[in-house]
Structure 1
Amino acid sequence: MTPTQLRAFTSVVRLGSVKAAAAELGVTEAAVSLHVAHLRKELEDRLFVPTASGLAFTPGGLRLASRAVEILGLQDRTVREVSQAGDGRRLLRLATSSLFAEHAAPGLIELFAGRADDLDVELSVRQPAQLPGLLAARTVDLAVGPALTQVPDFLVHQPFLTYEVVTVVGPRHPLAGRTLTAAQVRDQRWLLGPSAAGDQGAIPGLLRRLGVPEAQQSIFQSDAAAVEETRRGEGLSLALRFAVAADLAAGRLALVEGSALRASGTWAALALPAHSRPPAAAELWRFITSPRATQAMIRGAGVRVGRFRPSVHVTLWS
Structure 2
Amino acid sequence: MTPTQLRAFAAVVRLGSVKLAAAELEVSEAAVSLHIGQLRKELGDRLFTRTASGLAFTPGGLRLASRAAELLSLQERTIIEVGQAAQGRRLLRMAASSMFAEHAAPGLIGLFTGRAADLDVELSVHDPRRFGGLLHSRTVDVAIGPNPGNVDGTLSCKPFLNYQIVVVCGPEHPLAGRDVGPHQLRDQTWLLGPAAATDVGVVPTMLRRLNVPEERQQIYQSNSAALEEARRGSGVAAAISFAVAQDLSNGRLVRMSGQSLRFDGGWVTLTLPERDAPPAAAELVRFVTNPRATQAMLRGPGVNVGRFRPSIHITLWS
TM-score by length of 1: 0.70
CA distance in 2, matches of 1:202, 1:184: 20
Residue 241 of structure 1 corresponds to 241
Residue 271 of structure 2 corresponds to 271
8 Å contact from structure 2 (residues 128, 145) kept in 1? yes
Which SS does the other structure have where 1:113 is aligned? helix
8 Å contact from structure 1 (residues 96, 144) kept in 2? yes
8 Å contact from structure 2 (residues 160, 288) kept in 1? yes
Matches within 5 A, 1:36-75: none
Q: What letter is aligned with 2:170? A: G
Residue 311 of structure 2 corresponds to 316
Residue 163 of structure 1 corresponds to 163
Shift of 1:257: 1.1
Matches within 5 A, 1:244-263: 244-263=244-263
Q: What letter is aligned with 2:134? A: L
Residue 153 of structure 2 corresponds to 153
CA distance in 1, matches of 2:209, 2:120: 40
CA distance in 2, matches of 1:314, 1:248: 32
8 Å contact from structure 1 (residues 84, 91) kept in 2? no
Cα deviation digits, residues 193-232 of structure 1 (max 9, x gap): 1111111000111011111112111111111111111101
8 Å contact from structure 2 (residues 148, 200) kept in 1? no
Which SS does the other structure have where 2:188 is aligned? coil
Which SS does the other structure have where 1:269 is aligned? strand
8 Å contact from structure 2 (residues 144, 268) kept in 1? yes
8 Å contact from structure 1 (residues 125, 317) kept in 2? no
Which SS does the other structure have where 2:310 is aligned? strand
CA distance in 2, matches of 1:107, 1:245: 17
CA distance in 1, matches of 2:201, 2:302: 19
8 Å contact from structure 2 (residues 128, 148) kept in 1? no
CA distance in 1, matches of 2:81, 2:229: 45
CA distance in 2, matches of 1:279, 1:170: 45
Residue 184 of structure 1 corresponds to 184
Shift of 1:149: 5.0
Shift of 1:151: 3.3
Residue 194 of structure 1 corresponds to 194
Residue 89 to residue 311, structure 1, CA distance change in 2 (3 Å): closer
1:95 partnered with 2:90? no
Q: What letter is aligned with 2:296? A: A
CA distance in 1, matches of 2:198, 2:150: 18
Aligned length: 236
Cα RMSD of the aligned pairs, angstroms, is 2.2
Cα deviation digits, residues 111-158 of structure 1 (max 9, x gap): 001111111100010000000110011111010110355631110110
Shift of 1:311: 5.5
CA distance in 1, matches of 2:257, 2:285: 36
Percent of matched pairs sharing the same residue: 57
CA distance in 2, matches of 1:317, 1:187: 36
Q: What letter is aligned with 1:129? A: R
CA distance in 2, matches of 1:311, 1:82: 17
8 Å contact from structure 2 (residues 128, 147) kept in 1? no
Residue 99 to residue 310, structure 1, CA distance change in 2 (3 Å): farther
CA distance in 2, matches of 1:312, 1:226: 28
8 Å contact from structure 1 (residues 102, 302) kept in 2? no
CA distance in 2, matches of 1:97, 1:301: 19
CA distance in 2, matches of 1:312, 1:174: 44
Cα deviation digits, residues 57-90 of structure 1 (max 9, x gap): xxxxxxxxxxxxxxxxxxxxxx999554323311
Residue 310 to residue 170, structure 1, CA distance change in 2 (3 Å): farther
8 Å contact from structure 1 (residues 161, 268) kept in 2? yes
**Structure 1 unaligned blocks of 5 or more:** 1-30, 32-78, 304-308
CA distance in 1, matches of 2:311, 2:167: 29
CA distance in 1, matches of 2:204, 2:215: 15
CA distance in 1, matches of 2:258, 2:302: 27
1:232 partnered with 2:232? yes
Residue 102 to residue 135, structure 1, CA distance change in 2 (3 Å): same
Q: What letter is aligned with 1:313? A: F
Q: What letter is aligned with 2:89? A: R
Shift of 1:280: 0.9
Residue 62 of structure 1 corresponds to none
**Structure 2 unaligned blocks of 5 or more:** 1-42, 44-78, 314-318
Q: What letter is aligned with 1:315? A: P
Residue 175 of structure 1 corresponds to 175
Which SS does the other structure have where 1:175 is aligned? coil
